[in-house]
Structure 1
């Protein structure tokens, strides 16, 4: 491809060549015009003039002869005739010279004229004139003169024709010159435009080259040019600035080169490398180097960039990607990476999943800022504790209130030891600003490779153990086959529940609540049962947790409400003074349409809400106490009776308890079970009954199975008894025994 300079020179030479050719052509055309003009002026016009004079002389000669014939005065006429003859001879000689062979007949004709003249002179000069002969001679003279005239006219025509041809040739040459000049002018203009274009391009390229020439000098990044032997030929001002930044001698450019650079340069040259990129730490600065080796030029260009800020930003981003923002602990991503790494190395280890019970209560009551601080301080406590244990452990925060600890040992005793140490550490409150929180933790333990063969199943099984511990509350569970079996059954159970809703396989059984003093039935609790296609009863303890996790508890709970309301209506229609208790799940209570659904069920069944008692767990109420109180007040306004279920297992304070618009407290069966031989349980139950009496609340003891438990509760003043001692959950037809006046007997 032609260079710009070559193109410009080519254009210049082309213009010069065309100009020379056109100048030559124009010169030749001018010479031809000049020759034609000179021929016309110098030859043709004089010839015409000479012929004109010759014709005039011939005519005058003929007239003088007629005058001589008329006057016969020879002395008067003859000198004139001789003068004309002399003149004619002169003109004839010139014409002969000019026309060469074209006028050969003129001298002959003129000779005949002379003979006829002499004959006429002799006749007229004699003594006796022969006038007939004279007239004959004059007639011949006229004819001969006419012949001579014709020749002269032909010569005139020839000259005029040649003159016209010369004129046409001249016109053509002038036209050609005109078109040549115009064409050359256009060519010059086009050539000038082309040259101008290339000149403009050249100017721009020159400007770019100048700018590029200044690029190394003005580049903010350091640039060094070396010859093939490694000698530094050039360094821009940015090199000295970098030397200043790292606190090195600004006059020694080699201080910014990486260690071993010159040895590596020789090696790269021997390997015929063309481009090398590498990084080095110079002082406290991270420098990226890009080396271009140019053997054809015998030089090397080294480009440097201070990437310290970028390296720090990347390190910060990497840290943020792998660490929790609130605690600074490694996050889920790093947790999964480490687990995969350890599995790939065939290590044996345990994973301890930790979750703070009722953490939502802190965020809902104190705000997310306090919640974040709680997570932060909890992470610090776990990290400090694990450090004090001097075990090979790593602490992570996975999400929300969930932490995880990797214990680099398979021994179950070690993982339980760590879990117990963590549980014991929670005896001390967590101080968050002006608040002191006594937190309970639920923990799940899973071992590799004993309980799982990959990271996914390890995390899944660990979460299963944690979920089981959360359902128990403040406990630690180790993953085993039972949990695995329960976990495997979840999907079939979920699918079965959906089918059960369609096939109406759910039913309500009822357990009587009796007066502790009289044992008369005062109420009943509706308990859901699921009878599968094969007739077997599936325990609520199996399917209710699955329903709560999957959200099916909303549909199932709504069915329980509607069916329970219908049974309450039947009790009223049968004049049975029985208040029916219905359990409300957490998801139902928190559902935005909960109150609306209750109102619709009342309208559809026409049940009396005063004959319906809604049981709400203490832990559910305390998740968001203020919101719960608002909902409970609306339930009371609708006419429902309210009871706190499983009282004593939650964390409600007396200040909240007195605000709850409730009618009764239900003592959890965990406290009733060992009443006969556990003084602590006796004290707790006594305190609950006394508290309820002072708050003007009724008490219901559930799980009563022995006469001893009944008598103790009766003496305390407990209002109602519920349990297997008096009634197992059963269909409504077996709840009431008309034969003994509705008074169940101890079983």
Structure 2
């Protein structure tokens, strides 16, 4: 009789799965993954996978060496332990796939009931197999566990089919990337498990670990270490940068920049969840628009859509569809919201991903403070405006980084201010210009950029140093009271700003009272206490303050009088209104009287003709500033406006 030899099981596939599981677990532990709602299923599933593979390898090792290691009670315990662990793995896979849908999360009770039923059927099958002694059989030289492997592989196929069905039935609420993963991965899983059922009997090869470890690995890579968000199906800003870096300048690209403007959702209570679901519905509806485009979420409410359109006509059709989706969502939303859509082709010479994103954000900022929705298609002039803005930003960053107090790009002009009492020019206001190449940039263009980019303090320090140098050179030969410098509202609210300013002033030899600072009304509202403290410290050092642009903000008389301000500088808008409106004239006269009674000096700016000058004098202003008297000139020219001292 021919003797049949037992063929040892090959479990190299299990070892590969173990290595993969250990590596992904180490990455999870020693990086900073996105710990979303479903991350726990990936993390726990990976740990369970490693434990189950170790148990499975021990089963296969005993099956290959029964003479040395087989114990009936211990072996059946190993089989049962693996089957329990495998059911846990299927639970985490099933939970992960389903819980990536927000709608499914709201159906957790039904989900748990369904899986409890599947688990009950699974364990009933295990009991039947044990009772029929079919899980394994002893053979000459080994143990046959073919039926055991086929049993749990069949359970894995059932789980894969249920996951596919659940995803199909929930298709409208599933992100496109998740849909693609499921419809691609599940068939592969089914084929892999079906081949395992066949190969375990034919070739004694076991590799079932490769049917579940890659699921957790792929989930981690896609949604927790990498760009994709499982709820919205979008990538993050790093994904956007990588995509733009690869394709910008190499292919025609269209971008649709969407900024969703939500109200303070805290006041809407139970409707917050509905608002969140509405946002997800918007993402799903946009994904359904053809041709397909990629969605990148660059902040909580800002999205960049890269549209794969063959020409501008198709691009316009797509962005109009996006607009239709948002208008439809607005009409149905319980919580009101607005949006800004800025769309256009990416210019080939825009250069890099950062510059590309800045371009679209630059255009969208035009609608920042408007309480309505806007739909805007990029025009050629927008790119020209952005390039100027970009050059200014780059120059300001370089000026801040160098912090050269003699930087020739920062020009200091000054405008003399007429003293009504003396009939002469006693003070002047320093004004800043920025020189980039051969172009002189006015402050109304670069100051907002400097404030937004945090470079304004460097500009102030450079201007202050140049003004101090001019004041020192004038002091010995010319009779004047002071030159004032504008201080940003953000600066005066910063800690220790007075130390920086005084350090510059004290380098020079002149009476410190010849330097004065101008602040706007808004400075007293950003951080009133800190601004007030800094102003008191500088006042104690001998520096006077002007309150600039009075009448354009929201200052009360009480707050103004509690600040260490000496001069009230009325905005020109009040002057122009008072000339045409008797009621405003009465208010202006009253304010001047109140301030002068309380010891303040009054100054009016923007005086451009004789009638405005006459009106200002009649109303009792102490100082008058405007083109009618003098235009801004380089600060060195102020000496021609100041009286020369007599020398004996």
TM-score normalized by the length of structure 2 = 0.52
Distance, in Å, in 1 between the alignment partners of 2:65 and 2:559 is 89
> 1:599 deviation in Å?
2.6
Which of 246, 252, 257 pairs up with 1:351?
257
Q: 1:667–1:702: 8 Å Cα contact kept in structure 2? A: yes
Alignment pair present for 1:212 and 2:108? no
Q: 1:444–1:465: 8 Å Cα contact kept in structure 2? A: no
Which of 434, 448, 451 pairs up with 2:344?
448
Q: 2:296–2:304: 8 Å Cα contact kept in structure 1? A: yes
In the other structure, the counterpart of 1:623 is 526
Q: 1:349–1:410: 8 Å Cα contact kept in structure 2? A: no
| Alignment CA distance shift 1:219-1:318 (3 Å) | same
| Alignment CA distance shift 1:494-1:714 (3 Å) | same
SS in structure 2 at match of 1:513: strand
Q: Deviations over 1:48-106 (max 9, x none)?
A: xxxxxxxxxxxxxxxxxxxxxxxxxxxxxxxxxxxxxxxxxxxxxxxxxxxxxxxxxxx
Distance, in Å, in 1 between the alignment partners of 2:395 and 2:611 is 39
Distance, in Å, in 2 between the alignment partners of 1:352 and 1:679 is 47
In the other structure, the counterpart of 1:610 is 513
In the other structure, the counterpart of 1:281 is 162
> 1:740 deviation in Å?
10
Number of residues paired by the alignment?
473
SS in structure 1 at match of 2:568: strand
Distance, in Å, in 2 between the alignment partners of 1:444 and 1:678 is 38
Which of 609, 614, 617 pairs up with 1:706?
609
Distance, in Å, in 2 between the alignment partners of 1:567 and 1:463 is 40
Distance, in Å, in 1 between the alignment partners of 2:86 and 2:641 is 105
Which of 537, 540, 543 pairs up with 1:637?
540
Larger Rg: 1
Q: 1:667–1:685: 8 Å Cα contact kept in structure 2? A: no
Which of 651, 664, 668 pairs up with 2:567?
664
Distance, in Å, in 2 between the alignment partners of 1:250 and 1:523 is 91
Distance, in Å, in 2 between the alignment partners of 1:617 and 1:377 is 42
> 1:663 deviation in Å?
1.8
SS in structure 1 at match of 2:161: strand
> 1:726 deviation in Å?
0.7
Which of 462, 467, 472 pairs up with 2:360?
462
> 1:562 deviation in Å?
2.5
In the other structure, the counterpart of 1:490 is 392
> 1:636 deviation in Å?
1.4
Q: Deviations over 1:83-140 (max 9, x none)?
A: xxxxxxxxxxxxxxxxxxxxxxxxxxxxxxxxxxxxxxxxxxxxxxxxxxxxxxxxxx
Alignment pair present for 1:510 and 2:408? no
SS in structure 2 at match of 1:705: coil
SS in structure 1 at match of 2:510: coil
Distance, in Å, in 2 between the alignment partners of 1:203 and 1:406 is 61
Q: 1:641–1:662: 8 Å Cα contact kept in structure 2? A: yes
| Alignment CA distance shift 1:450-1:310 (3 Å) | closer
Which residues of 2 match residues 277-426 of structure 1 at below 5 A?
279-281=160-162, 290=193, 292-294=196-198, 297=201, 332-333=236-237, 336=240, 350-353=256-259, 398-399=298-299, 403=302, 410=316
Which of 481, 493, 501 pairs up with 2:383?
481
Which of 55, 69, 84 pairs up with 1:221?
84
Which of 475, 484, 491 pairs up with 1:581?
484
Q: 1:445–1:465: 8 Å Cα contact kept in structure 2? A: no
| Alignment CA distance shift 1:246-1:597 (3 Å) | same
Distance, in Å, in 2 between the alignment partners of 1:625 and 1:381 is 38
| Alignment CA distance shift 1:522-1:251 (3 Å) | closer
| Alignment CA distance shift 1:615-1:303 (3 Å) | same
In the other structure, the counterpart of 1:720 is 623
> 1:481 deviation in Å?
3.2
SS in structure 2 at match of 1:293: helix
> 1:700 deviation in Å?
2.7
Q: CA RMSD in A?
A: 6.7
> 1:558 deviation in Å?
2.0
> 1:517 deviation in Å?
6.9
Gaps of 5+ in 2: 7-63, 88-112, 129-152, 168-181, 288-294, 308-314
SS in structure 1 at match of 2:633: coil
SS in structure 1 at match of 2:630: coil
Distance, in Å, in 2 between the alignment partners of 1:662 and 1:375 is 43
> 1:460 deviation in Å?
2.1
> 1:595 deviation in Å?
1.9
Which of 431, 441, 455 pairs up with 1:527?
431
Q: 1:446–1:458: 8 Å Cα contact kept in structure 2? A: no
SS in structure 1 at match of 2:613: helix
By relative contact order (CA 8 Å, sep 6+), the higher-ranking structure is: 2
In the other structure, the counterpart of 1:365 is none
Distance, in Å, in 2 between the alignment partners of 1:381 and 1:698 is 57
TM-score normalized by the length of structure 1 = 0.46
> 1:728 deviation in Å?
0.5
| Alignment CA distance shift 1:331-1:506 (3 Å) | same
> 1:512 deviation in Å?
1.3
In the other structure, the counterpart of 1:153 is none
> 1:486 deviation in Å?
0.6
| Alignment CA distance shift 1:603-1:323 (3 Å) | same
> 1:613 deviation in Å?
1.6
Distance, in Å, in 1 between the alignment partners of 2:271 and 2:600 is 38
Distance, in Å, in 2 between the alignment partners of 1:284 and 1:414 is 33
> 1:242 deviation in Å?
9.6
